[in-house]
Structure 1
Amino acid sequence: MARRWTARLVGWRSGDGVMWALVGLVVAVPLMNAMVGFVRASSGWLLMATLLAAAAAIGVALPLIRRARRQRDAFLRANARLETIDQMNGEQFEHLVAALLRRDGFRKVRVAGRVGDGGVDVVGVAPDGRVFAVQCRRWSSNVGSPHVRNLLGALAHAYSGHTGLLVTSSGYTSAALREAQGAGLAMLDRRDLAEWALGIPLPDLLSPPASERLSA
């Protein structure tokens, strides 16, 4: 008798599970169909809402971008003369170089900072995809070979894979020019800086390298 009741109990539980599974399927299928129908019916509205949101975001972003460009261009115009650049401190000069890079289409431009910069002051990605590491020297005296070696050391370690560029508001010693030319390091001197600030794109100034033109 007990065995028969146990069998009935187990049988009832199994049948109950099947029954609820069938009920679940009966309920779930119409719900699934309703959800699919809702998505299909509302996809046009969802798409329209997405497009409107994107248009609103662009409408907000474009004026900000244009304002930033106007401010950058005004800053560059105000500092396009060497006489003005000569009055800058080192940090101001770094920001000027960063603004010139942005003007020439560089992306992800940032001033690396004063502490632990590894001999690099500005970094940025050129339009051709090369990543530049720039050392800036706002000096009145010529830049010597130790600073060339400093940048070359950074390129060999912390900034491996970057294209090195040394920019100064003065000139270079003959030893610095020889060392840079031997390592293939790109350099801009005072004359190049004046042309760059007045609108000559950086790629035009780097071909041929300044070290070759100055040593010729």
Structure 2
Amino acid sequence: MKKIFATLVILTFLVSSCWKNKSPEDLPRLKEAFKKQVETFEKDKVSTNENVTKSLESLSGLKAALEDSKNEDKEFAKVYGNWEKVDKKVKDLNKEYEDLKSRAEGLFTAMEEQTNSLSDAKSKADLSKAIQSARTKYNATLANTAKAIGKLRVLHTDAVDIVKALEVAVALNSFDNINAQLESIEGRVDGIMQELNVAVEESKKLYDQRIDELN
């Protein structure tokens, strides 16, 4: 009798576990988690943009201060400090991007599993096609986002190189080549941020149930 009871308990546990794993509640939960991750990524993107803008302003201010021979050491310390913050923000943004990619994959997988459980063949086929199309396009967006974050890393490296070049320019009293480099960095920021904006917009379409817009 005890063995029968124990067996029934185990079976009940297995059934309840399977039901929990297959529960439709998984999809709303994953969708909400993805939504929160998109919001976090967007906040980090805005914060990174603010830090880059501030650092570019300090870089321009450094050049002007050096040309006027004012507070050189203080200006260098401030600019290096600002770009260190940018470096940290880019790393944070990349981490949030990796989490975004992971949660998106979980959401697509949940949608596929729920679609595969449908009994109507046509509905299953139509939804599977829509999900695959959306997944392909969103993965392309994620790939572009990774490239944009990579561009931010390069931007940071180039900016620090300019600061180093300015230190040499101070000794030589020559700033002729710095202007073009500074303008190049400033001109790249808007494009990079726009690429990151696309990631946010496409992500919002995904959790707002506008899969048709991703097709």
Q: TM-score, normalised by structure 2?
A: 0.36
Larger Rg: 1
Q: TM-score, normalised by structure 1?
A: 0.36
**Which structure is higher in RCO with an 8 Å CA cutoff and minimum separation 6?**
2
More strand by share: 1
More helix by share: 2
